Amino acid sequence: MSARIVVLAILLMALVASAVRAETLSVVGFNVESGGADPTVVDDIVATAQGVDIWGFSEVQNDDWAILFEAAAEQGEDANFERILGSTGAGDRLLIVYDADRLTLLESFELPEINVGGNVRAPLVARFRLGASGPEILFMVNHLYRSRADRRHEQARLLNAWARTQTAAVIAVGDYNFDWSVSGGDADHDAGYDRMTADGVFRWVRPDQLIRTQCSEHDSVLDFVFVAGPAQGWQSNSVILETQPSYCPDSAETSDHRPVLAAFSTEETSLRAQLLERLNAVESELQELRDLIETIGE
């Protein structure tokens, strides 16, 4: 066997042995309707959903609600979940609940400059490390203006500008109030969607089947999962969950929104592609050695 074949064989075995296993991640965005739902009923929905790594809640009334949802997220999971409650929004706050056994919290913060007018909620962001050596993730929860389209559009523009400056993978869940029509939404949706996704900075992880995400006369999607940066290259899919048969008409116990689930695999390239890339590099290095040997002579 030639030295070249030996080198390539050793490289192949090393790559197979050390190939990075793709990490999986499951997230849910859920508007739990502070002031219009019973948290002890809503937390049953949270407890039923198994295998969720990060929850992004909007319209959380206070820390009492947050404690309930943290405990519900732990049920049946054999994992320790932690919570991060936003400081803005009065009785309609944002909340992140995450599996602390899978995700290492590096920092958490809010973006007050995107709380346009100061009357709603500043985006809540947590920076995580996924697994022992996985990627960094910026997980964000948003709840944009409903009553003021101009301020909603400005929030969407500012989110786009913020995401352009990030190098980590961004996953942004929440109630965006973009009114994407279930039938014909590509031509019938709020302009905020276009401002947020401008230049491909954010991409919607669009469910295969669209159904309205809120109980109202509008047949539209208000709740979304968006990705930016490296997360756009991950394998992903999402689904709008139908959580209870009595969802509409709305009741005083259940939320008037449906949760949206998204699942990700962080694998961007196949093992074959990785091997080919490394083999090409080795081929190039071997050619350089041949050229060097010819210049030296025998």
Task: Give 261-295 as a DSSP string.
Answer: EEEEE---S-HHHHHHHHHHHHHHHHHHHHHHHHH
Positive or negative CA dihedral for 187, 233, 200, 162? Answer: positive
Q: Tell me which residue range forms the domain holding 101.
A: 23-271
Mean pLDDT, consecutive 10-residue stretches, the chain (298 aa), reads 43 43 89 94 93 98 98 96 98 98 98 96 98 94 97 98 97 98 97 98 97 90 97 95 64 88 79 56 74 73
Phi/psi of residue 177, nearest 5 degrees: 55, 40
* pLDDT for position 283: 72
* pLDDT for position 6: 43
The total domain count for the chain is: 1
Q: Terminal CA-to-CA distance of the chain, rounded, Å?
A: 23
Report pTM: 0.83
Q: At what angle do helices 39-48 and 63-74 cross, to 10 degrees?
A: 30
Answer whether residue 279 is part of any domain.
Answer: no
Q: Any idea what the CATH number is for the domain that residue 219 is in?
A: 3.60.10.10
- What is the Cα gyration radius of the chain? 23
Answer whether residue 241 is part of any domain.
Answer: yes
Answer whether residue 286 is part of any domain.
Answer: no
Answer whether residue 4 is part of any domain.
Answer: no
Answer whether residue 41 is part of any domain.
Answer: yes
Answer whether residue 295 is part of any domain.
Answer: no
Answer whether residue 277 is part of any domain.
Answer: no
Q: Which helix (H) or strand (E) holds 196?
A: helix 191-196
- Residue ranges with strand state E in 67-133: 81-85, 93-99, 103-110, 124-130
Answer whether residue 9 is part of any domain.
Answer: no
